[in-house]
Amino acid sequence: PRLANQIAAGEVVERPASVIKELLENALDAGATRIDIDVERGGVQLLRITDNGHGIHPDDLPLALARHATSKIKTLDDLAAVMSLGFRGEALASIASVSRLTLISCQRDQDNAWLAFAEGAGMQVEVRPAALDVGTRVEVRDLFFNTPARRRFLRSENTEFAHIDETVRRVALARPDVAVRLTHNGKTVRNFRIADGKEGLAERVSAVLGRSFLVTAVEAEQQIEQQRIFGWIGHPEQHRAQADGQYVFVNGRAIRDRVVNHAIRSAYEESLPKGRAPCWALFIEMPAELVDVNVHPTKHEVRFRHARWMHDWITQTVRESLQRLPE
């Protein structure tokens, strides 16, 4: 299991930002409405995520760190219709196999919190009382301390933090109903407050992508049966240096999908000066059975049941919005 964990870790844990992504998904799956993320030294020294979700029962703490132990899927039918973000039951085990991981959790009916500690692979998990409000805290120290090859692949502290920041911004856009705070080396870098409803989403988009984006962007909105696209299409002139600031969500899950990106880009085609990378924030909602998100462990890609149709529908939606852009 030691080796299997480390191999699996290679799939899900590429860098500090991938740890953050998995831990954020767990917090959201636990129904958290507030998530605090503390990062030291680009995440290599410390990643700490504290949420106010439903917590983990002390009896389940060692299990949460075991491979393929998930509380989220009980039957194969669940797997087909998976709506929760994590479902493979390998994230915590994988992360624990390449770091020093502390899991602290408190459930509402517990007198105190409980702590489980795992160091590297082949872990002997020890559980003891601890102090924490209702919710869960995961502390990941010394990432890749036992896999020096992978550690050498990491970039500078600032670059690794930039990846973390990007991951946090993505989640913040997907979930305006959750408060998210991010610190790096003790300094608050992001502080997104809870924002409700459609106006809340606009507020969150403006907090993440900048007010200038929202001021010049046009709204997109299309619905066919139970499939809906809404969001903001950025002005081609309001570009960024790279293609950051391009956000697409399918059923609340951030995706980076070539088909979808191509569909959006081809709508911009004529209006896009060479070398420009406009911003967009698009939210797609559709019945779970029409989209497969279970394509790759890192879950950035999706497979639509009607891929061709989706592509053309997205292009058409974006094109119609672009026609309303001020000159």
Contact 243, 194 (CB under 8 A): no
Distance CA 30, CA 315 (A): 35
Three-class SS of residue 232? strand
Nearer CB in complex with ligand ADP: 84/316 = 84
CB of 293 to Mg ion, least distance (A): 14
Q: Can you give the C-alpha Rg of the chain in angstroms? A: 20
Helix axes 258-268 and 307-322, enclosed angle (nearest 10): 30
Three-class SS of residue 146? coil
Tell whether residue 71 is a contact of ligand ADP (CB under 6 A).
yes
Question: What tokens appear for 259 in the block?
Answer: 């088909």
Distance CA 182, CA 103 (A): 19
Q: Which does 6 bind (CB under 5 to 8 A by kind): ligand ADP, Mg ion, none?
A: none
Burial letters 247-266, b for 16+ CB under 10 A, else e: bbbbbebbbebebbbebbbe
Tell whether residue 90 is a contact of ligand ADP (CB under 6 A).
yes
Tell whether residue 298 is a contact of ligand ADP (CB under 6 A).
no
Tell whether residue 106 is a contact of ligand ADP (CB under 6 A).
no
CB of 5 to ligand ADP, least distance (A): 11
From the list 13, 24, 30, 310, which residue makes contact with ligand ADP (rule: CB under 6 A)?
A: 30
Q: Which does 44 bind (CB under 5 to 8 A by kind): ligand ADP, Mg ion, none?
A: none
CB of 222 to Mg ion, least distance (A): 32
Size of the site for Mg ion (CB under 5 A): 3
Tell whether residue 70 is a contact of ligand ADP (CB under 6 A).
yes
In DSSP terms, 39 is beta-bridged to 47, 184
Residue span binding Mg ion (CB under 5 A) among the ranges 45-53, 84-92, 115-123, 260-268: 84-92
Tell whether residue 18 is a contact of Mg ion (CB under 5 A).
no
Tell whether residue 26 is a contact of Mg ion (CB under 5 A).
yes
Distance CA 50, CA 34 (A): 8
Distance CA 22, CA 12 (A): 8
From the list 9, 17, 19, 27, which residue makes contact with ligand ADP (rule: CB under 6 A)?
A: 27
Map tokens 């019945």 to a residue: 287
From the list 15, 21, 48, 88, which residue makes contact with ligand ADP (rule: CB under 6 A)?
A: 88
Give the contact letters, 134-173, x = binds to ligand ADP (CB under 6 A), - = no.
--x-------------------------------------
- Chain centroid to Cα 273, Å, comes to 31
Ramachandran angles phi, psi of 94, nearest 5° = -65, -45
Of 262, 293, 324, 11, nearest to 150 by C-alpha is 11
Q: Which does 55 bind (CB under 5 to 8 A by kind): Mg ion, ligand ADP, none?
A: ligand ADP
Nearer CB in complex with ligand ADP: 65/207 = 65
Tell whether residue 72 is a contact of ligand ADP (CB under 6 A).
yes
Helix axes 16-29 and 157-174, enclosed angle (nearest 10): 20
Nearer CB in complex with Mg ion: 6/26 = 26
Binding-site ranges for Mg ion (CB under 5 A): 26, 86, 91
Question: Which residues of this protein are in contact with ligand ADP, per CB under 6 A?
Answer: 22, 26-27, 30, 51, 53, 55-56, 64, 70-72, 86-93, 136
